[in-house]
Chain A
């Protein structure tokens, strides 16, 4: 006689465990969204009131005068800070892109066996160096080198911060670019080689175009890293408000400004609100950069 359904239809431990895991994983997934919205709400709430009432938006974007502590007339011009961040990040990318692409191509296409493994580990170790250590290198080593090499009075400037930031961003860019190159099927290389393509031609005509989206996103993540980096830039850039004429001018970055000043402002004051307005701007810019990088990567899969 067949068993009845009622006799075997029981919720056992496995059933409850499955439920519990589902809830747990769901909470984990949702928390990312909750956190990012939470952070956005927080900085917006702290900065928005100031940004919409007291702040002169036109001055904020066009005036290079950042003087929030002025007794007579505090001004909140962020142009010089934006120029500082952009110039340092731009210099960093000039340094980082050739380095990281070269390293990624070498690791993915040329290095074999032990060399490859050792290099990969080393690159990952480079990525793990704390930014304050990089800042220290900028402050104590690069500073002297730049003064001697270029015969300039101050070695803490766009060049210094850019090189340091470029070296900082290069490892992570290398890792992502290498993943993108490794994702190119070997069949493509073999097909091109069979056509009589040289190693150089295989890489430049077939592998790099095939990995293009991944490489673009590697660069964009590097740019995002550059915008967001604080400590190393604070230490190596000279931290003086300035729209740079050359790479030998000292500058001050948006992030460094927040880090250096936030501790000294009264919560709720105009200065406090102005720093949070910088924060909103940074958040939006890095969000856009990362989103673009992500969409570009998705672009590969669609094609």
Chain B
């Protein structure tokens, strides 16, 4: 029954985006996006490659700060505050967990991978770290597989395990918002299903933006879905009606029914 449980609009949005425009030099990557992400929802973003989906995620955490060629205009409010007005960009990023398409197990032990963010944030006590590491690994459905080898290198885990390690690491920041950028691209179907279960669980606590190439994945998981096409923000709506044909734009229907893309 995913899709019917949309969070009430009265609740304040976690993320509020108005007229967002991203360009690299003269090339526009994404144009005129206006949408909001509500508490405890999975927000799906679908669209073919080069539609500006990843740029969108980068803009949220101001990853453009070190990239002079990336231009962001418009307004992105996170927790009610314009991200460009956050004085400490690192504090902002700590509130937003990111999972990249390809799993990145840092060349540290499994334990240190998950403990890194809390340590960066100043948590030092072993007992606290132990608790965080176990909790995050459990939430990422990885604990049972790695609890006996927390000291081995994270980069030695299998691809699927590394991707869940990455999720555990993102959770260790205790984020309000989790950004998943095509998390299943390098993961086998069984692991994908496990991670999808994890996402359904996490939704009870935080908001999740899920960028995906797999239209059916959005259908399975997302409460609402936005469609990006060739740098254009086509539409956003509740997932179920959208997949049942209630679209504002014919191209959305064509894309999700597999006519192109």
The answer to whether A and B come from one shared complex is yes
Chain A residues whose C-beta falls within 8 Å of the C-beta of B102 in the assembled complex? 187
Interface residue count on the A side (C-beta < 8 Å): 18
User: What string of 1s and 0s marks CB contacts (under 8 Å) between B142-176 and chain A?
Assistant: 00000000000100000000000010011001000
Q: Given the complex, which residues of A lie within 8 Å of B173, measured CB to CB?
A: 195-196
Question: Which one of B11-19, B86-94, B211-219 contacts A?
Answer: B86-94
Tell me whether A303 is interfacial, beta carbon within 8 Å.
Answer: yes
Against A, the Cβ 8 Å flags (1 = close, 0 = not) of B81-104 are 000000000111110111010101
B202 contacts the other chain (CB 8 A)? no
> Does B247 make an interface contact (CB < 8 A)?
no
Contact A195 B63 (CB under 8 A): no
B96: chain A residues at CB < 8 Å are 194
Q: Is A106 an interface residue when CB atoms closer than 8 A count as contact?
A: no
* A194, closest chain B residue (CB): B98
B residues 62-83 touching A (CB-CB < 8 Å):
63, 66
Once the chains bind, are B90 and A210 in contact (CB under 8 Å)? no
Q: Which residue of B lies closest to A197 (CB)?
A: B120
Complex Cα distance, B96 from A192, in Å, reads 12
Contact: A193 with B116, CB < 8 Å? no
Q: Chain A residue with minimal CB distance to B117?
A: A195
In the complex, what residues of B have CB within 8 A of residue A22's CB?
none
Interface size on B, residues (CB 8 A): 27
Q: How many A-B residue pairs have CB under 8 A?
A: 63
Partner pick for A192 among B66, B92, B106, B166, CB 8 A cutoff: B106
Whether A45 is near chain B, meaning CB under 8 Å from some CB there, is: no
Chain A neighbourhood of B108, CB < 8 A: 206, 209
Which residues from chain A contact B261 at a C-beta distance below 8 Å? none
For the complex, would chain A's binding face be called helix, strand, loop or mixed by DSSP majority?
Answer: helix
A265 interfacial contact with B, CB 8 Å: no
A187 to chain B, nearest CB (A): 4
Mark each residue of chain A from 195 to 206: 1 if its CB lies under 8 Å from any CB of chain B, else 0: 111100100011
User: B15: shortest Cβ distance to chain A, in Å?
Assistant: 16
- Cα distance, A196 to B91, chains bound together (Å): 6
The 9 closest A-B pairs by CB, nearest first: A196-B94, A196-B93, A194-B98, A191-B104, A187-B104, A196-B90, A195-B117, A210-B107, A197-B120
Residues of B within 8 A of A (CB): 61, 63, 66, 90-94, 96-98, 100, 102, 104, 106-108, 116-117, 119-121, 153, 166, 169-170, 173
Could you list which residues of chain A lie within 8 angstroms of chain B, going by C-beta atoms? Answer: 185, 187-188, 190-198, 201, 205-206, 209-210, 303
Q: List 14 A-B contacts (CB under 8 A).
A: A187-B100, A187-B104, A188-B106, A191-B100, A191-B106, A192-B106, A193-B66, A194-B61, A196-B90, A196-B91, A196-B92, A206-B108, A206-B116, A303-B153
